[in-house]
Amino acid sequence: MRTVTSALVLTLTLGAGLTACSGNSPSAPSTSTPTTLRLALSADPAPLDPDTYYEAEGLQITTAAYQGLLTYKPDSAEITGLLAKSWKVSSDGKTYTFALRTDVKFSDGTAFDAAAMKASFERRVALAGGPAYTLAEVESTDAPDPATFVVRLKRPVAPFLDYLASPYGPVAVSPAAVKAHAAGDDHGAGWLGAHTAGTGPYQLSSVVKTTRYVLTANAHYWGGKPRFAEVDFAVVPDFSTQSIELQGGQLDMVLHGLNTRDYAAIKQNPGFQVQNFPTLFKTQIWVNPDSAVFGPHAARQALRDSLDTVALTKQIYGDRATASTEVYPEGMLPKGAASDMWQANPQALAALSGNKDKSITIGYYGDNSLQQLANTLQIQMQQAGLTATVRPYGPAQVFALPAEPKQRPDILVAAMNPDAAHVDTWMSIYQAAKAPVNFLGCSVPAADKLADAARVTVDRSESQELYTKAAREYQNSLCWINIADVRDTIAAKAGLTGWRHQMPWVFTVDLATLEPTS
């Protein structure tokens, strides 16, 4: 027994010795103004080359390092100039002429001009990555002088300006950096996967894959010195750990992913704050038109009528979302043009109890809120006499659904976010019959025809009218039932001010305007 006791004592002594050397007790208050902002990424982002990078996690890094010609005003769908001071569109809608800023430099110190923008457009097309679709209709570009950049399209593209303002839109990449670091015909993509060469307020100064990404202020930034000299991103995949680290003082901000209870608890702590920003995210129920239960339009109507969106939104999201009232996110269509409200009738599903086939699968794709919504729907379905099974779908599974009809659930709960604040970026990506991620294969030919026409219509109001008509057709199909408009909810330590946010920039805030406090 003496052996056992000795071993225990030794173990405890070693443990105490190690912990006694601890240098990072949580919440150690600092008396000086912090110069480093500490954030977390929930996944190691893909290579951060802006011409191939096409995911949400890590967008905070690319949007801080790169800028395009246009952007959106904070929390608005209104487009404003960024590297372009102004722009003109020809009467045929095919030629865009941009007057560029002349006081901009890249983070490598070289000057930004029209030739650099032209090279950046050409690089994106040559790399043919995911975001290259934004330039698919570009016929040619021209740089007649350093401050003028001209883009000619093959045909009018209604959402083209929104593509340029999108966080995945074309950005200025230093041609000098590309040339210096090109390997073979990779256009510098290998180097730009872990470095940056943009005109934004920050540049990537250190990358340790799967561990840490560090941004430092861009000394050549034209928009004024950012308040934080450094932004340190730690890769912390587990959101519970992120929450504990925020509350323990290891992180200054958690960009997304906590559950409603976590946010409520953090909000009540005076040492922290919770910020909500409007986004283009919509939580929806996608209905499989080939479902034995929900295939008939009347069944889809019953499903929709049974849903009390206000109650569901409050239950699932608390104040992190509002019940949806429009078919598309705010700003995509004139307010009220495609209203989307109904009188909830919890008994409506009872109409399906006489169905011969009562077995359904409820899929969900996304975070714990969507799982909770799927579980709530399961209970409602079972109360209506249906046998419902809930099944999670990961990204690789859900993106395979358009090509795998047999794998499609009867209904799919998902929250989708388009790349830009233009209704076409929703219809042509999620709803058209040939849309790349029309998960459950719903086809509304009349709507597709209207949307196609709207896309090439030069007159903006005429185009919007066509899109509005298309919206009503898609809405009437009841293949997509809107539940909630979800906000970007960010938990942070108290005292951080200068919050600025853009609607399509998911899980992202403007780092340049954030101000630290002592």
Partner 1 sequence: MLALAGRRLAGAVAICLGLTVVLFVLQHLSATDPVRVLVGPSASTAQVDAVRHQLGYDLPLYAQWWHYVTGAATGDLQTSLRTHRPVATDIAQFLPASIELALFSCLIAAVLALVLGIGTAGRWRGAAPLNTVLLAIASAPAFLLTLLGIMVFYRNLGWLPPTGRTSIADPPGGPTGLLTVDGLLTGRPDVTLDALRHLVMPAVCVALLPAIAVGRTLRSSLTTALESDHIRTAKAKGLSRRAILLHHGLRNSATTPLSMAGLQLGSVFASLVVVETVFAWPGLGLYISQSIPTSDFPAIAGTTLLLAVAYVAVNTAVDITQAVLDPRLAR
Q: For the chain, how are helix, strand and coil distributed in percent, rounded to 5?
A: 35, 20, 45
Instruction: Convert residues 212-231 into a mask of x (bound to partner 1 by CB under 8 A) and - (unbound).
Output: x-------------------
> Is residue 271 near partner 1 by the rule CB under 8 A?
no
Q: From its phi and psi, is residue 235 left (phi > 0), alpha (psi between -120 and 50) or beta?
A: beta
CB of 248 to partner 1, least distance (A): 5
The single residue among 32, 396, 461, 518 that binds partner 1, judged by CB under 8 A, is 396
Which residue number, 21 or 31, has a Cβ lying nearer to partner 1? 21
Q: How far is the CB of 435 from partner 1 (least distance, A)?
A: 9
Check residue 261 for interaction with partner 1 (CB under 8 A).
no
Q: At what angle do helices 309-317 and 368-383 cross, to 10 degrees?
A: 140
**Site map (CB under 8 A) of partner 1, residues 147-176, x = contact:** ---------------------x--------
Q: Which stretch binds partner 1 (CB under 8 A): 17-25, 72-80, 104-112, 137-145?
A: 17-25
**Three-state secondary-structure class, residue 62:** helix
- # binding residues, partner 1 (CB under 8 A): 64
How many degrees, rounded to 5, is the angle at CA 177 between CA 175 and CA 183?
A: 100
Out of 245, 330, 410, 448, point to the residue binding partner 1 (CB under 8 A).
245
171 or 349: CB nearest partner 1: 171
Binding segment for partner 1 (CB under 8 A), chosen from 126-134, 302-310, 346-354, 380-388, is 126-134
* In the complex, minimum distance from the CB of residue 404 to partner 1, in angstroms, rounded to a whole number: 5
Contact between 12 and partner 1 per CB under 8 A:
no
Among 9, 15, 335, 347, interactor with partner 1 by CB under 8 A: 15
Evaluate whether 130 touches 167 at the Cβ level (below 8 Å).
no
Q: 488-493 and 253-254: which strand pairing?
A: antiparallel
Any contact of residue 182 with partner 1 (CB under 8 A)?
no
State the burial class of residue 86 (Cβ atoms within 10 Å of its Cβ: 0-12, 13-18, 19+).
exposed
Work out which of 35, 80, 240, 269 binds partner 1, going by CB under 8 A: 240
String marking each residue 49-68 x if it binds partner 1 according to CB under 8 A: -----xx-------------
Count the neighbouring beta carbons within 10 Å of the beta carbon of residue 289.
Answer: 18
C-alpha to C-alpha distance for 503 and 75, rounded to whole angstroms? 5
Among 81, 130, 223, 296, binds partner 1 (CB under 8 A): 130
The tokens describing 362, both together, are: 């409820």
Should residue 3 be labelled a site residue for partner 1 when binding is judged by CB under 8 A?
yes
Cβ pair 488, 469 in contact under 8 A: no
Distance CA 140, CA 14 (A): 68
Considering only the stretches 119-127, 210-218, 257-265, 369-377, report the one whose residues sit in contact with partner 1 under the rule CB under 8 A. Answer: 210-218
List, in sequence order, every residue forming a beta bridge with 36; answer none if it has no partner: 230
Structure tokens that stand for 459 in this block: 């007159």
For residue 391, state whether it binds partner 1 (rule: CB under 8 A).
no
The distance of closest approach from Cβ of residue 28 to partner 1 in the complex, given in angstroms and rounded to an integer, is 8
7 binds partner 1 (CB under 8 A): yes
Under rule CB under 8 A, residue 238 binds partner 1: yes
Q: Determine if 25 is a binding residue for partner 1 (CB under 8 A).
A: yes
Nearest residue (CB) to partner 1, 55 versus 473: 55
Q: What is the largest CA-CA distance in the chain?
A: 93
Contact status: 341 vs partner 1 (CB under 8 A): no
Shortest distance (Å) from residue 192 CB to partner 1: 11
404 touches partner 1 (CB under 8 A): yes
Relative to beta strand 411-416, strand 488-493 is unpaired
Tell me the C-alpha to C-alpha distance, in Å, between residue 504 and each of 78, 421, 480, 513.
12, 7, 21, 18
What does the buried/exposed string (b/e) look like for 157-189 if buried means 16 or more CB atoms within 10 Å of the residue's CB?
Answer: bbbbbbbbbbbbbbbbbbbbbbeebeeeebbbb
Strand order in the sheet with 36-41: 36-41, 230-235, 212-217, 202-208
Chain positions 70 to 89 lying near partner 1, rule: CB under 8 A, are none
Smallest gap from Cβ 327 to partner 1, in A, equals 20
C-beta separation of 485 from 266 below 8 A: no
**Residues near partner 1, by CB under 8 A:** 1, 3-4, 7-8, 11, 15, 18-19, 21-27, 43-44, 46-47, 54-55, 128-133, 136, 168, 193, 208-212, 234-238, 240-241, 244-245, 247-248, 250, 394-397, 399-400, 403-404, 406-407, 419, 425, 429, 434, 436-437
